[in-house]
Structure 1
Amino acid sequence: MSDWHPIFYTSERAPGVWTMETPSDDVPFGRIELRRTTAGPRCKVILGREVMGWASLQLACERLSVGRLEQLQAGWNGPPNGRRALRSV
């Protein structure tokens, strides 16, 4: 496997529970928990305190990574340095 995948940012700290963090993060930003469901084993995807949904482990890692990127992008939107445009009266 020569391509990068978000699963490389995960670490299994307890059986069936993966945390995801980037090398620059101090604390994990998300968690993936393996659960038994009526449809078979599924992973619960959690970003911060919000449950994003259920998926296979590979898809769960992708969803968590995309959710984190969207969260970061939302913080970057807007004018530089938080300036507001001046209105002429």
Structure 2
Amino acid sequence: MGNAAEAPLAYWRKSSYSGSDGGECVEVAAQWRKSSYSGSQGGDCVEVAQFVGEVGVRDSKNPGGPVLAFPATVFEAFTSAACEGAFDA
């Protein structure tokens, strides 16, 4: 199994089952994928990764930068509303 340095496209976080006593810890990773709406021209790109119970969103041009995390149910409601045109001007 690799580490974060070997998996630059992964988002690593400590498992909630690892506890807080400094004992044995497990890190889990999710694979990031680029939004199909980002295009292939190198423009504004968004990547998402699915975790257990949440979805991470980041700027693909800054993979080491901040990550927005949303509960999976909230992200699903947002994407469904967007597909239905709820945010069209």
Q: TM-score if structure 2 supplies the norm length?
A: 0.32
Q: TM-score if structure 1 supplies the norm length?
A: 0.32
Max radius of gyration: which structure?
A: 1
Instruction: State the structure with bigger RCO (CA 8 A, min sep 6), 1 or 2.
Output: 1
